Structure 1
Amino acid sequence: MSDQLKELGFTKKTCATCGKDFWSIGERTTCGDAPCDKYEFIGNPATPKKYDLYDIQKEFNNFFKERGHTPIKRYPVLAKRWRDDVFLVGASIYDFQPWVTSGLVEPPANPLVIAQPSIRLNDVDNVGRTGRHMTCFTMGAHHAFNTVEDHVYWKDETVKYCHDFIKHIGIDPKEITYIESWWEGGGNAGPCYEICVRGVELATLVFIQYKTTPNGLEEIPLKVVDTGYGLERFAWISQGTPTAYDASFGPVIDQLKKLAGVELDENILAENARIAGMMDIEDIADLKELRQRVAEKLGISSQELKNATEPMEAVYIIADHTRCLCFMIADGVIPSNVKEGYLARLVLRRTIRFIKDLELHESLGDIMKIQLEFLSITYPEIKEQQTHILNVINLEEKRYQKTVSKGRKLVKRSIKDLKKENKNEIPVELLIKLYDSHGMPPETIEEIAKSENFKAAVPDNFYTRVAEEHSDEKVVTKTEIELKFPETDLIFYDKPQKIEFEAGIIGFHENNVILDRTIFYPEGGGQPSDIGFIRVKGNKMDKFPVLHAEKVQGVVLHRMDSKDIEKLKPFKGSRVTGEIDAHRRTALTQNHTATHLIVAAARKVLGDHVWQAGAQKGVEKSRIDLSHYRRISTKDLQDIEFIANKYVMGNFSVHTKWMNRTNAEKKYGFRLYQGGIVPGANIRTVKIDGIDVQACAGTHVKLTGDIGLIKISRTERIQDGVERLEFSAGEAAIKTIQITDNYLKESSSIFKVPSEQLPKTCNRFFNEWKSFKNEIERLKDEIARLKVGELSDHALKIGDIMALSQLVEADMNELVTIATDLTENENSIDVVIVGNKSGNIVGASSKNAEGIGIKVNEIIKDSAKILGGGGGGRPNLAQGAGPNYNKIEEALEFALSQVKDIVSNHKN
């Protein structure tokens, strides 16, 4: 595949073990990758100099910078800022998909070099156990984007750069192998080389030249050099440590070992890593086999090995997971039960589990401080977010304890149900359900099961399985409409104040008329569309209402009633005049700009971690969803409202500008995308001087003072980590205040006190009401007891039991109390059927009555049918009701006759 390899002295061979084609110098017969080759660097570093992770990161960046690559800053690990198909960045190429790799947008530099923190949870259960798996790793990459007009470099140059870098850090080229392979991901594909040294894969060189389609591969004009260098593995091979964890975050591991009192057995861990390198760890069987093989090699039992390695594995897991959490939370992920928040919570709660296993006295927050101190040296943005990260961690730790405490009863109930089904084990499906729906970790379920003499089938790859289910966004594929019309000229951007316009009818699609230009804003970005009407020019009589507008493939569809469409069709090609509802447009414009101010104010009050998670603008009221880890207090809400209105009173200018997407991101960063993913090579930026800048296609005021007033009316939590604020702007805000003011005045009038005394008065009345309510309940109980005494005299002896059927003046709760009291006291009546004139009927029975086959739930069910209703309950207590309350005495007599029949049949 490469002439360059030949020039460097490499020859192509076929691996004698796996059969793959590879290139190497010399006479070797195996490909150099595990399991064909053993790890030969543990205790035997491959480089003369030892690099830690950040040394190798600097070396990598500087090497490529000196060779014409522009270093760029890392992207957030939260990929949903610019992608709608995945949640987290899993490789450096994710940063440039789909906008750059599709050729739609220019790359931020070309060629470029980046060290991108990447997160993959597809091997989360292997972390700590194998020596090499990590949830968070640093992908060093140099990328080139080649077009027909601008060829940067391709395969030969890429191979030379890789070869020179590996040689530069001191690895003998004779130890390098290039394995020919194939890569696919993110809708792209191409041939690749996997680069191995001493049994470990260090890098992959991918040459993207195709896109994957339902019909197969399709050549793309943009050819992308996509490389990935595992910098943690470079650090590992340079140090020869037992595991990659020791080489990558040794200072964190050293502190954790001291806290836990764990001694490092380098021989066992090194042997464990060597054998793990020879295996493809994918499922539960492999992990068990791994322990068995290491134990046999060391001449000890699997249990002895487990006892020796588990504490150190826990240390490695905690070190890895806390690093992952630092990047996640710093970049805007809020732990929750959905999407990327689900993945963060999975990692977080798994970390807590291993802290518990090590019996550490420190909290997760305490451990996070160790990791934060270590990461902050290289990533100052993480240091800036330290307070927020620790706030989230501490709150989540408390939530976890509550979840486990509440979930114990649920697990015990599930075990009880399984025992009734003659099962002796909690199946994996139920474990996943208990974790997904109730947050119960499988380890805790297993502990509870043991205490109940039950089993739990917890697989070693449990967390991998649940992570895979939640790793990708479920993208709804929309059916594309085929529209063969030129794009509509959007007048409302250039002339936002214009409410009338002239245009030409160029066609129709279903119930939509298509014009060559329009001032009707099409629905988008949470802003509803304009409405209004059009007239055929020269015909002032007929108005054709426009009910809705939407943009498809750049074409604005103006929806109308089907009858109006038919009337308009003969006028295709004619000129029309149109007018929008000006009051509606003004209100929507005010609300949309107010949304920007509220987001900015929320960041100031709550913290920079706040992101917009959704919005819907309206005329009378709007809402905005904000990512935040705790409930927004009344004080916070008032502060947000106050600051937002100060921004209004400041009368700041609002600037709108179309910008090249790449240039906009360079200038403003990913804060642009508060409103979600914005498509296109060019994006419209809305900048409010000194306050906020967003990519936004909505309509906006020219000055913030034009908003008039912002009133936030309420807040609610719509899901974990997302707070919804409801607000109004302009005239609607004034109306909201007036409505609230009327409530105060009416309430003051009812209580006959000034409004400032309302809280105190309401509190007094509420406490008095509670007191009266309790007294009423006490009196009801007393009356019920008196009625019980009176009713006892009306009991009848039927065979060997006493029975009572009686109409009583009492509500349903009192009927239940009377029935249960009469069947449970010392001189109990065996069967009691009581009813009231409202059509309620209640039955209760003693154990003696149950013994002869009386089931009051069946009697009440049948009796309630006479009332035209239904009933049910337990065999010894049931209730029913029906609308035919005038038949209550008939129902009571029927119930008593049923009792008599059962007693009679029992005797016979």
Structure 2
Amino acid sequence: MLSSKEIRQSYFDFFKSKQHTLVSSASLMPDSPNLLFTNAGMNQFVPIFLGEKKCPYTPGRATDTQKCIRAGGKHNDLEDVGMDTYHHTFFEMLGNWSFNDYFKKEAIEYAWEYLTKVCKIPKERLYATVYQPDKSSGDPADFDQEAYDIWADIFKADGLDPKVHIVNGDKKDNFWMMGETGPCGPCTELHIDLTPAGDTKGSLVNMDTDKCIEIWNLVFIQMNANPDGTFSDLPTKNVDTGMGFERLASIILNTKNFTDFNGIISNYETDIFTPIFDKLTDISGKKYTSTLPEKNELGYFVAANDQEMVDIAFRVIADHIRTLSFSIADGIQPGNGDRNYVLRRILRRAVRYGRTIGLEKPFFYELVDTLADQMGEIFPELAKGRQHVKTVIKSEEEAFNRTLDRGINLFESEISKLKKGDSISAAFAFRLADEQGFPLDLTELMAREQGYKVDVDGFEKLMNEQRDRARAAQKKEIISLSEIKTTEPTEFIGYEEDNSNEAQVKEVIKMKNGLAVIFDSSVCYPEMGGQVGDSGTIAAGGKLYQIKDTQKNGDATLHYLVGDEAPEEGEKVIVSYDIERRDKIRKNHTATHLLHKALQDLLGEHVEQKGSLVAADYLRFDFSHHQGLKADEIEKLELLINEKVILNSAVETHLKNIDEAKAMGAMALFGEKYDDDVRVVKIDDFSLELCGGTHVKRTGDIGLFKITSEGSVSAGIRRIEAITGMDAVKYALNSNKVLQGLAGDLKCKVDTIPERVDKLSSNAKSLQKELDEAKSKLVALEADSLLEKAEEINGIKVLMLKVDNDAATLKDMTHSLRKKIGSGIVVFASSANGKVVLTSGVSDDLTKQGFKAGEIVSIAAKQVGGGGGGAPTFAQAGGRMPEAIPSAFKAVKELIESK
């Protein structure tokens, strides 16, 4: 039996034998700004198809497997994942490409040869579709007679009737367009009959059934769609094909190499997914049994029993770990914007499904190693980045788990108020999204499982209102610069040694917060790429004007002035920047480059710049990493960077074409767009980056580098702040002064401070122990007085009180009274700052009669909008609705009475 790995390799080997260059998969981060993710094999080849880039392959042929994600945006399969045998958010697309080389005949013959001779698919089960326009619907172009004739010859040669095995399709099925205008052309598809007998004679083609599915699409890019609605021939003809790898593997493996068509034919029943399923079984104790849900009366797929729910969860989790792992390995992390939020939604969907198979602690990250072991050879970026991927996913899981229970409890409370036919209100769905981080699709998923709909239109209205409020608030802080007349760019000439230049005033702009001047050229650097704008002076007509800041507006540079006077428009002036301030900025900017490279060397290549600020008095650098730096790591960073400073290496800047710069190996910031000509900053053989900022001539000019802080900005993003030069020297001297003072207070030497502190800490712990013992005695005394307030419920002694104690004291009181009450139940509630703490204790004899502290506290917690649990004798919970404490006590009383 073949493996999926061998099937993929057979595809590569076949097309390499046909003189195709094997091309690596493009990143899931697309070049096109209109795409959330790379979603098709052709994405990386679009510039070649459009003639924007010369074909780099000789001959003009390529083959690949492309990582694709279809979740969010126009192509979105997310809601179908888990409900059937073939939908995925992540998949591989096998492709072969011709760039003005071969065309229809070779493409069709290659497809037939590979499927029938290499894969050995029975020929009689294959059907080809060709384009036949429906002129009544305005379909473009003409019937694809050329493709029909090629297929007819192939089927006849193999003893098959073309009239049966060629099916015509309209624009929807057999015509491809890049957009409303631009390259387009007819396509031909291959479909396979998967019925047991295989004798449907093409009747199921394009009928949306899993008994006859499309496996390969061959697109012939031969025309251009013009703005006036007409079509003209392209000067070049290209071939773009795509075949779903998971689908091909499923057909071959599930039919036992086409010997048995009676079993389940599912993408999930292959070795692409079974290793992940096996790991899930190890983690959860559940087993996958291949069941599929049916649609309910609302048209939603809903599990009819626990096993169907388990199988849905297995499919969802296995699909989603592929999407998350490959995305993070390509530098796309879960977050709050665009594609980042799509990943966060998918991860949270997987975590929610984990709950349905009993996984309440972080588990999703544990699947990464299984996937990396399985696919790291064909996609080395996954194997290389596996630890980073695990760290990111675990961090996201932990963050969401903290709100998931609360959101589920709120949801269950809400639906308990609904009747059959009601909908989840927009206000409640918005509350879950706004307060608990529940994406709308997760709320819809939970609603479908319970047989309810969600008011999606109302939700979107509330979301738009929130966005409008945010935009309105933002507009109050932004000054519109739309009235600026100057359209010519300001030439920046501040890289040279001279700190002054002669310039002409192009425009003076008056705004609410003062005046700004635009020149034809300037030595002042405008705030860009994290580097702050220069301050300086303008000398004109015997007057001196102070520049407080320099900013960009389009291509123009605005020099903001101190005061309400400015030179005249058209006047010749001398513009100068503040030399001392610029020198400090240069030191900090070059140090930022050293820091970036040092972090990668120390922590790994997953480190990417996520933001920076280069000011005169300090530098700030944000980077991707999912755990705080240890003290020894910070020390190693400082040593490495200061070593480079002391070496006094040359800092070279070169103006290069973007392609030349990348060929040199220059580091470009992920997601940044660059002009055709870029500046490359090279520091010895250590650092090479694209950067338009200003820098020192030699690293020795930095003087000294010192990190002042390291901390978290958001999930997966860390921040380092540092200083250089005399600022760093003064910081070091002051730190030493503080240490000397501390040593004096502790009556020891500086190098023995840690030893002295440990001794004092030990003494403090001893005192704390005495304090805790005294506190325990006070708690016991208070507990004795409270016993008098116990009441009898259903023949059981019950003490149920609201008190004003913290959680730790509440716990001590409960344990003490549980022992002193004899045979009975203790329940305490306390509230502070809008939060509720609940504890419950049950005597040993009553636990044997079915009274459990965990059950008691859980029922009480639901009433106060929270959750919790514990052992049969003691349990603790929390909530956020202090006003509902009486309801919590009532629920406990009803529980005791019902036993």
Q: TM-score, normalised by structure 2?
A: 0.62
Counterpart residue identity of residue 230, structure 1: M
Counterpart residue identity of residue 176, structure 1: T
Match of 1:620, SS?
Answer: coil
Matches for 1:378-527 after TM superposition, within 5 Å:
378-394=378-394, 396=396, 401-404=401-404, 407-408=405-406, 412=409, 427=425, 430=428, 433-434=431-432, 437-438=435-436, 485-493=487-495, 495=496, 497-505=497-505, 511-527=515-531
Match of residue 641, structure 1, among 638, 642, 658:
638
Q: 2: distance between equivalents of 1:517 and 1:284?
A: 70
Q: Displacement, 1:85?
A: 6.0
Aligned 8 A contact 1:143 1:224 in 2: no
- How many residues are paired up? 680
Counterpart residue identity of residue 656, structure 2: M
Match of 1:129, SS?
Answer: coil
Deviations 1:150-188 (A, max 9, x none): xx639xx66556434423423679623344357777998
User: 1:413/1:119 Cα in 2 relative to 1: closer, same or farther (>3 Å)?
Assistant: closer
Deviations 1:631-658 (A, max 9, x none): 3333333332232222322333333333
Aligned 8 A contact 2:86 2:266 in 1: yes
Structure 2 partner of 1:722: 717
User: 1:188/1:610 Cα in 2 relative to 1: closer, same or farther (>3 Å)?
Assistant: farther
Q: 2: distance between equivalents of 1:102 and 1:324?
A: 29
Q: 2: distance between equivalents of 1:875 and 1:399?
A: 27
Q: Displacement, 1:499?
A: 1.5
Match of residue 244, structure 1, among 247, 250, 267:
267
Q: 1: distance between equivalents of 2:179 and 2:734?
A: 52
Counterpart residue identity of residue 590, structure 2: T
Match of 1:132, SS?
Answer: coil
Deviations 1:576-629 (A, max 9, x none): 333211111111111111111112222223222111111111111121111112
Moved more, 519-528 or 648-657: 648-657
Aligned 8 A contact 1:192 1:204 in 2: no
User: 1:591/1:664 Cα in 2 relative to 1: closer, same or farther (>3 Å)?
Assistant: same
Tell whether 2:88 aligns with 1:88: no
Aligned 8 A contact 1:672 1:693 in 2: no
Aligned 8 A contact 2:596 2:609 in 1: yes
Q: 2: distance between equivalents of 1:617 and 1:580?
A: 16
Q: Displacement, 1:363?
A: 4.8
Q: 1: distance between equivalents of 2:15 and 2:363?
A: 41
User: 1:170/1:689 Cα in 2 relative to 1: closer, same or farther (>3 Å)?
Assistant: same
Counterpart residue identity of residue 583, structure 1: E
Q: 1: distance between equivalents of 2:177 and 2:428?
A: 34
Counterpart residue identity of residue 331, structure 2: G
Structure 1 partner of 2:171: 180
Q: 1: distance between equivalents of 2:708 and 2:628?
A: 15
Q: 2: distance between equivalents of 1:115 and 1:331?
A: 16
Structure 1 partner of 2:706: 711
Match of residue 696, structure 1, among 691, 701, 718:
691
User: 1:368/1:65 Cα in 2 relative to 1: closer, same or farther (>3 Å)?
Assistant: same
Q: 2: distance between equivalents of 1:218 and 1:313?
A: 46
Matches for 1:577-726 after TM superposition, within 5 Å:
577-665=574-662, 667-668=664-665, 671-673=667-669, 676-726=671-721
Q: Displacement, 1:374?
A: 1.2
Aligned 8 A contact 1:428 1:458 in 2: no
Q: TM-score, normalised by structure 1?
A: 0.61
Match of residue 116, structure 1, among 66, 80, 83:
66
Tell whether 2:108 aligns with 1:163: yes
Aligned 8 A contact 2:280 2:314 in 1: yes
Tell whether 2:211 aligns with 1:196: no
Matches for 1:722-801 after TM superposition, within 5 Å:
722-745=717-740, 755-756=750-751
Q: Displacement, 1:490?
A: 2.9
Match of residue 533, structure 1, among 521, 534, 537:
537
Instruction: Give 5+ residue unaligned stretches, structure 1.
Output: 1-48, 145-151, 292-301, 786-811, 814-872, 877-908
Q: Displacement, 1:389?
A: 3.1
Q: 1: distance between equivalents of 2:548 and 2:220?
A: 51
Aligned 8 A contact 1:614 1:625 in 2: yes
Counterpart residue identity of residue 196, structure 1: E
User: 1:174/1:105 Cα in 2 relative to 1: closer, same or farther (>3 Å)?
Assistant: closer
Tell whether 2:73 aligns with 1:59: no
Match of 1:125, SS?
Answer: helix
Tell whether 2:323 aligns with 1:324: yes
Q: 1: distance between equivalents of 2:350 and 2:585?
A: 46
Structure 2 partner of 1:135: 89
User: 1:396/1:174 Cα in 2 relative to 1: closer, same or farther (>3 Å)?
Assistant: closer
Higher relative contact order (CA 8 A, sep 6+): 1
Q: Displacement, 1:778?
A: 9.5
Counterpart residue identity of residue 492, structure 1: G
Deviations 1:202-233 (A, max 9, x none): 337486999999x9999999999694613324
Aligned 8 A contact 2:28 2:37 in 1: yes
Structure 1 partner of 2:812: none
Instruction: Give 5+ residue unaligned stretches, structure 2.
Output: 117-122, 132-169, 192-205, 207-212, 256-264, 782-803, 806-881, 886-899
Tell whether 2:24 aligns with 1:73: yes
Aligned 8 A contact 1:415 1:426 in 2: no
Structure 2 partner of 1:373: 373
Counterpart residue identity of residue 244, structure 1: N
Match of 1:672, SS?
Answer: coil
Q: 1: distance between equivalents of 2:609 and 2:244?
A: 34
Counterpart residue identity of residue 82, structure 2: G
Q: 2: distance between equivalents of 1:690 and 1:314?
A: 50
Q: Displacement, 1:375?
A: 0.2
User: 1:461/1:429 Cα in 2 relative to 1: closer, same or farther (>3 Å)?
Assistant: closer
Aligned 8 A contact 2:66 2:94 in 1: yes
Deviations 1:661-718 (A, max 9, x none): 344445538x5215x5133223322233333332221112232222221111112212
Match of 1:616, SS?
Answer: strand
Match of 1:88, SS?
Answer: coil
User: 1:261/1:534 Cα in 2 relative to 1: closer, same or farther (>3 Å)?
Assistant: closer
User: 1:86/1:443 Cα in 2 relative to 1: closer, same or farther (>3 Å)?
Assistant: closer
Counterpart residue identity of residue 266, structure 2: T
Q: What is the Cα-based RMSD across aligned positions, in Å? A: 5.7
User: 1:654/1:482 Cα in 2 relative to 1: closer, same or farther (>3 Å)?
Assistant: same
User: 1:508/1:632 Cα in 2 relative to 1: closer, same or farther (>3 Å)?
Assistant: same
Larger Rg belongs to: 1
User: 1:368/1:569 Cα in 2 relative to 1: closer, same or farther (>3 Å)?
Assistant: closer
Match of 2:537, SS?
Answer: strand
Aligned 8 A contact 1:284 1:461 in 2: no
Match of 2:685, SS?
Answer: coil
Aligned 8 A contact 1:249 1:319 in 2: no
Q: 2: distance between equivalents of 1:105 and 1:389?
A: 33
Aligned 8 A contact 1:412 1:448 in 2: no
Aligned 8 A contact 2:49 2:238 in 1: no
User: 1:352/1:875 Cα in 2 relative to 1: closer, same or farther (>3 Å)?
Assistant: closer
